[in-house]
Every structure is written in C-alpha cells, then in structure tokens.
Amino acid sequence: MIGGSEIKNYAPFCKGLKALWSPYTGIIDWGLVTKSYAEDFQNRGGIVYTKYPLKTLLLVGESKKENMVNDYPVMIESEPSLVAVVFPFITMPKIRCKYLITCCGLQSDRIAKLSGGLPDPKIVPFRGEYLLLTSEEKKKLVTTNVYPVPDSRLPFLGVHFTPRMNGDVWLGPNAVLAYKREGYKYSQISVPDLYDALTYRGTRKLILKFFGYGMKELYRGIWIRAQVKQLQRFMPNLKISDITR
C-alpha cells in the first residue's frame, strides 16, 4: 500500500489518495503466446488445424463386432464443405483421440453442451471499447497499468490505463452488449448470437439489474467527452485532442 504522494513514483501522471503497487504485474501479447505454443507442439510432431469449426463431438463405444478395445473413444467432426477450402485433401474431416482438452473462449458453453454438459450457464458477450492515447508526451508517462478501485456492486471494472507491448496506450474500456460472440465492432452482427443472448433469462436479469449503469456505459461509448471525463479522475490534464478511437 502506498500513499498519494508516492503514487507519482510509479505513475507520474496519476492522481489518487492511496494505491496498491503490484511490482510483478506484466503485459502479455496472448496471440504471440498462443503461436509459440503451436510452434512447440508442431516441432514435437503435432498437427495444428485452423479454421476447423466443430460441429459434432461424440464418445464412440468399443467395437463389439471385432471384439476390440477402442483406444480413441473421442471423435470430433467438422463440415467437409468448410474444411475442404483449407485442407482439400480431407474428404471426411473427423479426428479421433483418447483425450480432449477444450479451451474455447466465447464458445465454451456451446462446446460444453456438445459434449453432454448442461445448457446453463451461458456466455453473454460484452464488448469493451478502448480509446487510444495519441499524445507522445503523455504516452511516455504511462509506464505501468493503472486501475481504479473496483465497485463491488457492479460486474464490470472501471476505466483504466493499459500500456501495450508495441508502445501504444489504451484507455478504457466501457462495457456494452456485443451483437456477435466475437463482435468487436458495432458493424459485426450475428442474428443467431444476438437471439441466443437476448432470449437467455440471465441476460434479462442482468439488464434489469444494471439498466441505469448500462445506459451510462452506452453513452460513454458514443460520446468521447464522457469517457474522457472518467479518465480525467486519474489524469487531470488529459484532453480530447490527446486521444482517438
């Protein structure tokens, strides 16, 4: 725990009463991490399939006809028409394995259902919209992550300052309902995803409970000035001319 006067030793731009300093907090590019894992896997003889949308996940029983033990009881399958574009040599895009580890992000609930899991809980996609700090002078001051104290009454964290590995500094985000599971722009819309989210009782409960807060988040997403006002609580001299979408 550090006092207000000590904060500027770690974040020169920041204004606050007290703070928790985490010296081991790091910045990670998870895309690079994933590619590195894939390269290690391939170097050890593994095969990586991309653009392989899962359609079927089955547990295949032992063959009574041949009286043989099934060493690869898990079968996953995609659609031939989708896979053939990337892997033209595959006519029956089925993969058999002994074990299956899933790490499916925004599709986790759907994959769980395919594997025999319960339909609840469901993932409700929310999009975080960031602003980009363009002032070179102020970018030099943001050398560490700065987060507000979380409000335990709300399911979202407030705006924060995030330096990136490429030298950019992100400001935000807000939190608004996404129109697609992987929809990071207003123009990205999936009718099935949106219908799935809006017909889920958990979404309706969430909207009713945090309706006022949600409207403020939407307002801040549309009007940059409102978002900047939130950020000025930590960086008082931040101006609208210092940022862009």
The 8-class DSSP code of residue 91 comes to S
Residue 84 is predicted with a pLDDT of: 52
Looking at residue 149, what DSSP letter applies? P
Q: What are 89's two structure tokens?
A: 């040599």
pLDDT, tens digit (0-9, with 9 covering 90-100), for 80-123 = 655 555 555 555 578 888 899 888 899 999 999 988 888 889 99
Run of H or E including 228 = helix 224-231
Low-confidence ranges of the chain (pLDDT < 70): 61-69, 80-92
Taking residue 80's Cβ as centre, other Cβ atoms within 10 Å add up to 13
Q: Which pLDDT score, from 0 to 100, does residue 89 have?
A: 52
Residue recorded with tokens 């002032």: 135
Q: What residue segments make up the domains of the chain, in order of their start?
A: 47-101, 125-244
Please report, to the nearest 10 degrees, the dihedral formed by the alpha carbons of residues 165, 168, 171, 175 taken in order.
-60
pLDDT at residue 40, as a whole number? 98
The token duo for 232 is: 């000025």
Q: What is the pLDDT of residue 90?
A: 53
Question: Tens digit of pLDDT for each residue in 5-30?
Answer: 899 899 988 888 999 999 998 888 89
